[in-house]
Amino acid sequence: MPKKIIAGNWKQNGNLKSSVTLTKGTISALARMKCKHEVIIFPPSVYLIPIQKLVSKKIKLGSQNVSAYDDGAFTGEISASMLKDLKVNYCLVGHSERRHIINETERALSGKVTRLFENNIRIIYCIGETLEEYKGRKTKTILRNQINSLIKQNKGNLKKHPKNLTLAYEPVWAIGTGLVPSMSELSDIFSFIRSTLNKVDSCYSSIKILYGGSVTPDNAAELMKTNHMDGLLVGGASLISKKFIDICSTI
């Protein structure tokens, strides 16, 4: 089986003690199960330094966010070069909570992607539709627009380093709600995403596609039966070591 990606987004949760405990428990369990897939954890940024000291070759470290700007007078921001200095391997960009709560624009997201490419940090770029868009049958239009916007603004970097980009389809209405698209819907959407990438350029065939949205140990194996699905972006279940490991073990 080709190597899959299992990523855990901790969001704004935990404290230093619980984050360290969760990291140690995850690393220990992965070592016992001899997991051969790419496992990534995305802790809150204030805990990146202590957690970076714990992670090993068994696990990759990701940042939940990055600045769209280079180093400079941008109070409160964290630049891609700073993440590189911390040996961060991945960064999330475009998560629905950043798009719809923080109101980040496509232009801002594009700037973040550019900075990450410049610093050789791999990107997990989230795309997805709202419940209103889903009910209005606008899912494919939204996804096409989000993908095309990303590619248009970063065509040069993507042509050179397509493997540095991973897409994560996260329908906004499925995040933290317990709702999950049907298997037929997922199959159709993932085929559409793959087709959209291939139509732009054949070099994008190496871009992996993940699913995120109410992923649990009970549905992970079934979700992974979807054609063109290369892994999972896990939210709430990644905050409990046993649940996250159970998800890893089902794949």
Residues with active-site annotation: 95, 170
Non-local (6+) Cβ contacts of 167 within 8 A are 124, 125, 126, 127, 147, 193, 197, 207, 208, 209, 210
End-to-end CA distance of the chain: 10
Strands (E), 106-145: 122-127
Dihedral pair phi/psi, residue 155, rounded to 5°: -60, -45
The token pair at 246 is 């159970």
The token pair at 132 is 């209103």
Non-local (6+) Cβ contacts of 72 within 8 A are none
Dihedral pair phi/psi, residue 8, rounded to 5°: -110, 115
